[in-house]
Structure 1
Amino acid sequence: MEPDLTLLRELVEGTPILSTHPGRGVPEEWICQVEAMLGPLPPSYRWWLTEYGSGTLGGAGIATIAPPNLRVYADDDLTAPWRLADGLLCFYAEPDCGDSYHFVHPGHRSPGSVASAEWPVVRRDVFGDEEPFAESFAGFLSISVARAAGLGDGPTPALARLWRSTPGVLLPNGVMIYGPQIITERNETYEVDDYAPHWVLIGDDSGGGGLFMRRHGRDRASVHHLDFGAISSDTVAASEKVADDLLVWLRGGAAIPGRQSTLGQ
């Protein structure tokens, strides 16, 4: 799914492992100069550059765009010669010679990969081995924050797939799927671990109802809907199943039978 920039801002400005400078974005002219060299930058990374310009993750800098008169000398500039090799563009490296993270340039994607303006991200370890990490820069930040918070890639496989693209979703009908910046707080607020320990609250309908998925077992893919006031293991298990596949449901508009959007009322 395409990154939700509103929720991405919440993620960036609400987590202690990210340090940014709001309002000190890179000028559009500089971005266009770099795009003339590299092609259109992935939208969520471009948004990051225009909003913050630079920043750090876990104390290590994320590549930026330096002033034109300093670009040739700036090691943190996205166009530094060492960053681009074999179709991979390095934009972040962990501290102390840790893993590095690279955009896959559109011209070097695998045959049959899904077409998107976003650039996938791969992780390369110190031995040079690579593995897919995220589907976008927003997903890179989302998974990084999730892992730092002890959430792994996500509490369910479906949520992990979503977070690899975006830190949550807010749809026009009011359905919201939480990102790593908020999911723990929401589960604590509604005491899900106490009342329904085999379930995780993954979102809500903006009208008093929660969306739940099983933490364990054979069925970790279906999504269930239940009013917050009725949470228990038995009631969630017997609640209305609204989807067999989270991402397919979201792409189709995430309809909940008998519910209408409360937004704007």
Structure 2
Amino acid sequence: MLHRIDLEPHYRLEPPASPEALSRAEAGLGRSLHPDYAAFLRLSDGLYTEGNLVLLGADSIAERNRDYEVPEYLPGYLMIGDDSGGVALLLRNREPAVFEVDMGVMMASEMRVCADSLAQLLIRFQGRTLDERQD
């Protein structure tokens, strides 16, 4: 479970997403937001790090998922952001794990687990993706 107080030392947080913004995001997606991501958006409507991590805000998540055709190529997944270098971050249905995949490939067979949870990615790994942690 994420708490704003755990994120504030590491990130510049946005104001929380409004209930209306969350409803618009779900309407645009045609499905419910992943519960962990919805909880995150209630803390900060998106996130941009000094490094590479970008987590989408409520008003951009549906468009980004449409642009990259996530429902067609990766049914059940939700793109929540990227590493600013061509790697998408995704959540699947109600599973807690965060996945990574090259935005040019977008195939389940090419996906890797980035973190066991969004909280682990943001707190323990301080927003660093797999490639950043291997450097």
Please indicate, yes or no, whether the TM-score normalized by the shorter chain is above 0.5.
yes
Q: 1:157 to 1:244 in 2, by over 3 A?
A: same
The answer to whether structure 1 residue 145 and structure 2 residue 46 are counterparts is no
Q: Which of 168, 173, 177 is residue 46 of structure 2 equivalent to?
A: 168
In 1: Cα distance, 2:64 partner to 2:41 partner: 17
In 2: Cα distance, 1:258 partner to 1:159 partner: 22
Q: Which of 10, 13, 17 is residue 4 of structure 1 equivalent to?
A: 13
Letter in 2 for 1:249: L
Q: Which of 92, 103, 109 is residue 234 of structure 1 equivalent to?
A: 109
The answer to whether structure 1 residue 212 and structure 2 residue 84 are counterparts is no
In 2: Cα distance, 1:182 partner to 1:244 partner: 24
Over aligned residues, Cα RMSD in angstroms? 2.2
Q: Between Structure 1 and Structure 2, which shows a larger proportion of helix residues? A: 2
Q: Which runs of 5+ in 2 are unaligned?
A: none
CA contact (8 A) 1:199 1:233 kept: no
List aligned pairs for 1:90-239, cutoff 5 A: 138-139=15-16, 141=18, 143-149=19-25, 150=27, 155-216=33-94, 220-235=95-110, 239=111
Q: TM-score, normalised by structure 2?
A: 0.77
Higher normalized contact order (CA 8 Å, seq sep 6+, divided by chain length): 2
Q: TM-score, normalised by structure 1?
A: 0.41
In 1: Cα distance, 2:64 partner to 2:17 partner: 22
Instruction: Give aligned pairs, total.
Output: 120
CA contact (8 A) 2:24 2:59 kept: no
Secondary structure of the residue that 2:75 maps to in structure 1? coil
In 2: Cα distance, 1:189 partner to 1:140 partner: 22
The answer to whether structure 1 residue 248 and structure 2 residue 90 are counterparts is no
C-alpha deviation, 1:203, in angstroms:
0.5
C-alpha deviation, 1:4, in angstroms:
2.4
Letter in 1 for 2:132: R
In 1: Cα distance, 2:68 partner to 2:48 partner: 20
Letter in 2 for 1:148: R
In 1: Cα distance, 2:107 partner to 2:76 partner: 10
In 2: Cα distance, 1:140 partner to 1:155 partner: 13
Q: 1:195 to 1:140 in 2, by over 3 A?
A: closer
Deviations 1:56-80 (A, max 9, x none): xxxxxxxxxxxxxxxxxxxxxxxxx
Q: Please say which structure displays the higher CA radius of gyration.
A: 1
C-alpha deviation, 1:250, in angstroms:
0.8
In 2: Cα distance, 1:256 partner to 1:248 partner: 11
